[in-house]
Structure 1
Amino acid sequence: MMEKIQKALTIRSVTIREMLAEALGMYILMVFGLSAVAQVVLGRQNFGQYLNINLAFGIGVTLGIHAAGGISGAHLNAAITITHCILGNLPWMKLPVYVIGQFLGSFTAAATVFGIYYDALYDYSKGNFTVTGPTATASIFSTYPAPYMSLPGSFFTEFLATVMLHLGILIIHDEKNNRALRGMEALLTGILVLGIGMGMGMNTGYAINPSRDLPPRIFTAIAGWGTDVFTAGHHWWWVPITAPILGSLTGVFIHKIFIDFHNPPVMACGNEKGQTAVEVSTL
């Protein structure tokens, strides 16, 4: 009986399976991360502090990669997907498939966290959902620059953080260098995200991922925060889209110039699909 049910539910289209894998991986990542932010903000730091948020995003990244890695490679980041398309590692026709999956998972995660914490949100803000001010709650779902940050400074922060993200990923998976042990890649990528948050999160909240930032921002615009989510922080919303893409490409360039071009190639071995899954896993 179970075999019949499994056969009926099995999706044979590789493209659809990749989209669903990206959606689930992103959903797991974002539920862990956003719920931690909600608990810290709404609990007025009585239920955790900034480190809790960093740890939750790191755990979410690790589990998201394990969930999607064997099917889609677990990009979980539109900037990473675009970079792989530019480098020729992924066909351009798959770009919308991956991004739609990522955005679907992220948007659904934001809606989930909103539902879990709706009563707490209402109590904290007295029903007035705002982007700025003493009871602002929009930052639970998307990133916003600190009040002291200029737009160029915010852009550079997101750019550099994403450079370190993709550079770190390439180092973890570098077959020609001192790569991580097999099976440890997801955990180390989660630790990498944890480190970025602990060291470069104060200025802008380290979005480092268009798929992490834009879908929840759209959700908050719909759910009651309004268009202020797109105008706050000197119209900040476009920075977490463009800066991570440029940062991701720069991270690849730096790795090739300083490391990759100087090392001899290694003999290909193992399952090609498995190698792809290991190579491109990320936030």
Structure 2
Amino acid sequence: MGLPLVPKKVRSCITVKHEIARGMLAEMAGIFVLVLFVDGGLAGGIVSGWISGTPVSTAFSSGMGVAFGIYTGLAVSGGHVNPAITVGLASVGKFPWRRVPLWILAQLIGAFCGASVVFGIYYQSIDALDGGNRTVFGPTGTGGIFCTYPQEYFGMGPGFVEQIINTGLLLHCTLMFFDERNGKPTKGMEPFFVGLSVAVIILAWGHNAGAPMNPARDLAGRLLTWLAGYGAEVWVPRGVHWWWIPTLVPPLGGIVGANFYYLFVELHHPAEDGDGEGVAEELRQIQNEDVKLVDLKVGVQSNGE
């Protein structure tokens, strides 16, 4: 038997027993892993001029990064790793609203740490590309490694609608794959299929604005690049206040997508045998109570006579 690196006494001291704190740590770890894959894949492609990667390969690495992030915290925090998932699940009663701000805070911290690691590892590559002059767009632009930006022709109106569609599809697929009563994948494969859906959404909808879907990853990367000297353009690309679209709209899309699946599919599952027995038992209890009340009334009337 091997000797643990961390002694048992130390492990018992640092073990987090509080449920909410445990969940927040798992969310931080999960989205940290997610960002390492997503931003790392994009960094390799962008700094190499798409020699070390392609848009298709980065869609795949992003999707699998999401899957691995979900797997990281699934049993502890639910493996949301995305504020839009957290808000969407809360909107259909699958997650308590009181925990939503805490989960989002943990996701933002984990995403910022992940983006910082990618920036640190790829710092020399970025420097070799832009000569220390940090730019978002153009031949030496590397802003797209850490967050999403729209094409020059893409307006905010279509961008608003597109992000609702993108994130709505993600929440629809998430509820679908985790629905115990709708032919879901083999147990343990659900995060893989959620990640696959992310890759497909990026391939289908990523051209116009990068298909952000994850406000924590996007906002954390935007903040990091602003601090790293990319300038105000990270917030106002080409003079347009785009930053709020990938930050605030995906949670709205999450609510739309989660309720779409819930109202059109999950709510209408036929009753199972167990459900029928439960209803029948409840009816029997009600009938027994009625009988007791009738007997009581009859007894009172007899005593009155």
TM-score by length of 2: 0.84
Q: Give the distance between the partners of 2:266 and 2:91, measured in 1 at CA.
A: 18
Q: Which residue of 2 aligns with 1:27?
A: 32
Cα distance in structure 2, aligned partners of 1:63 and 1:151 = 32
Sort the Cα spacing of 1:92 and 1:171 in 2 relative to 1 into closer, same or farther, 3 A.
Answer: closer
In structure 1, C-alpha distance between the alignment counterparts of 2:262 and 2:196, rounded to whole Å:
23
Question: Shift of residue 89 of structure 1?
Answer: 3.0
Q: For 2:67 and 2:74, locate their aligned partners in 1 and report how far apart those are by CA, in whole Å.
A: 10
Who is 1:275 aligned against? Answer: none
Which residue, 253, 259, 274 being the options, matches 2:265? 259
Comparing 227-236 with 88-97, greater Cα deviation is found at 88-97
Return the alpha-carbon distance in structure 2 between the equivalents of residues 237 and 146 of structure 1: 14
Match of 1:126 among 131, 134, 146: 131
Gaps of 5+ in 2: 1-5, 276-305
Q: Deviations over 1:219-266 (max 9, x none)?
A: 111111122211115211100122211211111222123212221255
Return the alpha-carbon distance in structure 2 between the equivalents of residues 161 and 173 of structure 1. 19
Cα RMSD (Å) of the superposition?
A: 1.6
Q: Which has the higher contact order (CA 8 A, sep 6+)?
A: 1
8 A Cα contact 1:210 1:240, kept in partner: yes
Residue 244 of structure 2 corresponds to residue 244 of structure 1: no
Q: Which of 1 and 2 has greater Rg? A: 2
Q: Distance in 2 between the 1:263 and 1:85 partners?
A: 20
Unaligned 5+ residue runs, structure 1?
Answer: 269-283
Q: SS state of the match for residue 45, structure 1?
A: coil
> How far apart are residue 85 of structure 1 and its match?
3.1
Determine the C-alpha separation between the residues in 2 that align with 1:101 and 1:36. 23
Contact 2:88 2:171 in 1 (8 A): no
2:164 is the counterpart of 1:159: yes
Paired with 1:158 and 1:19, the residues of 2 have a C-alpha distance of 26
| 1:1-283 alignment runs, 5 A limit | 2-232=7-237, 234-266=240-272
- Whether the aligned pair in 1 keeps the contact of 2:178 and 2:190 (CA below 8 Å) is yes
Query: What is the CA–CA distance in structure 2 between the aligned matches of 1:218 and 1:66, rounded to whole Å?
Result: 27
Q: Taking every aligned residue pair, what percent have the same amino acid on both sides?
A: 34
CA distance in 2, matches of 1:149, 1:7: 54
